[in-house]
Amino acid sequence: MELTLPHSRPRLDLQLVQRFVRIQKVFFPSWSSQNVLMFMTLLCVTLLEQLVIYQVGLIPSQYYGVLGNKDLDGFKALTLLAVTLIVLNSTLSSVTSKLIISPFTLTYYTYQCFQSTGWLGPVSIFGYFI
């Protein structure tokens, strides 16, 4: 005997929106919470990274103008800009995210350790690392 369930398609209705809003209240309880700060920081870094990537994409077309005009000073300036943007792009992708996330992670686990063991836990761990 085969059990068949009615196939209802997922819909974007009021219930879905209400559930989504409730979930957001759990993730972001107030504007001054640590979650909001971390989310906004990562959002800004991501947007800046996309801006740098966009600027890197515009550089080849700028070289056509500089090379067509045989402008040596413009070529040097554009090359310096290109190298700077490429270095920024490779650094936003790898190092920046780690530098931003690490303090939040360290603070969170230090707090959790303090809640579990009192002051002796974090002092012991940081003493061990030092």
State how far the Cα of 117 lies from the Cα of 110, in Å rounded to an integer: 10
Provide the 8-state DSSP code for 124: H
Tell me the C-alpha distance between 24 and 29, whole Å.
8
Cα angle value 21/27/29 (rounded, 5°): 85
DSSP code per residue over 6-20:
--------HHHHHHH
List the pLDDT tens digit at each of the 130 positions of the chain. Answer: 555 566 677 777 888 889 988 998 888 888 888 888 888 888 888 888 888 888 888 888 899 899 999 999 999 999 999 999 888 887 776 676 677 778 888 888 888 888 888 888 889 888 888 8
